[in-house]
């Protein structure tokens, strides 16, 4: 399988590449540190398997998945991410990805995911399966926004900048930016005014 790796962290890219170098059935033909560069590569090269992070600068992994399914429907996709929020996991799975593995899962899980995809099957790591099963048992936990996103939404409503939100919640600005993108996407709003209106109308703040 011809594989394209997408992650903006060089160390993680190198780690996955090193792991796959021991597998004679796969060939890493490209690497990209953004969704935009991944799409450029896909338009010029035939890729059997895309392994991508969700958290990317600019366009996020979910948008990348949707575009890849349109422009290169034969390309299989495995999402390798640190995000385990129920709503996000379900949103990604709905797009028809062939695998979802968390970054804190073992290397064995990623290898297993690749093997399943090669066999035409779908692979969800044990932790992802647990999240899906848990959401069936406790559907009320499958809310539109996570607790952290609600916290950030409240601070956005107070007109806090990303840096101020990061300082307030003791997280990085990059993490705040990712949460902000997720909030706008989940609420299907594209402006601050629209977001605040939606938040009040749906009792999110």
pLDDT in tens, 89-124: 888 898 999 999 998 888 889 999 999 999 999 999
Domain ranges of the chain: 2-137, 147-201
Q: What does the angle CA 20 – CA 24 – CA 26 come to, to the nearest 5 degrees?
A: 55
Strand partners, 79: 52, 100
Which CATH architecture fits 2-137? 3-Layer(aba) Sandwich (3.40)
CATH number, span 147-201: 1.10.10.10
Which of 130, 90, 127 is CA-nearest to residue 108?
127
Task: Over range 5-29, report the average pLDDT.
Answer: 92
Please enumerate in sequence order all residues whose Cβ is within 8 A of that of 23, keeping only pairs 6 or more positions apart, or say none.
111, 114
Asked whether this chain's domains 2-137 and 147-201 adopt the same fold, the reply is no
159-201: per-residue pLDDT in tens? 999 999 999 999 999 999 999 999 998 888 889 988 988 888 7
Report the alpha-carbon distance of residue 122 to residue 77 in Å, rounded. Answer: 10
> pTM of the entire structure?
0.72
Strands 123-124 and 49-52, bridge-based pairing: unpaired
19-74: per-residue pLDDT in tens? 999 889 999 999 999 999 999 999 999 999 999 998 888 888 889 999 999 999 99
Any alpha helices (H) in 138-188, and if so which ranges? 147-157, 162-169, 173-187
Please enumerate in sequence order all residues whose Cβ is within 8 A of that of 173, keeping only pairs 6 or more positions apart, or say none.
162, 163, 166
């Amino acid at each position: 399988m011809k594989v394209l790796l997408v992650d903006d962290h060089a160390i993680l890219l190198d780690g996955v590449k090193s792991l796959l170098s021991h597998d004679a059935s796969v060939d890493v033909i490209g690497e990209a540190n953004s969704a935009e560069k991944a799409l450029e590569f896909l338009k010029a090269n035939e890729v059997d398997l895309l392994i991508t992070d969700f958290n990317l600068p600019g366009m996020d992994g979910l948008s990348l998945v949707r575009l890849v399914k349109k422009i290169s429907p034969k390309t299989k996709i495995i999402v390798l991410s640190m995000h385990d929020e129920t709503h996000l996991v379900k949103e990604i799975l709905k797009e028809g990805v062939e695998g979802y593995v968390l970054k804190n899962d073992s290397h064995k899980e990623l290898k297993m995911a690749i093997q399943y995809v090669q066999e035409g099957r779908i692979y969800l790591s044990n932790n992802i399966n647990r999240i899906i099963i848990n959401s069936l048992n406790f559907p009320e936990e499958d809310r539109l926004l996570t607790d952290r996103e609600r916290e950030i939404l409240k601070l956005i409503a107070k007109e806090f900048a990303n840096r101020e939100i990061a300082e307030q919640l003791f997280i990085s600005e990059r993490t705040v930016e990712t949460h902000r993108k997720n909030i706008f996407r989940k609420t299907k709003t594209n402006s601050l005014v629209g977001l605040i209106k939606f938040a009040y109308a749906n009792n999110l703040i």
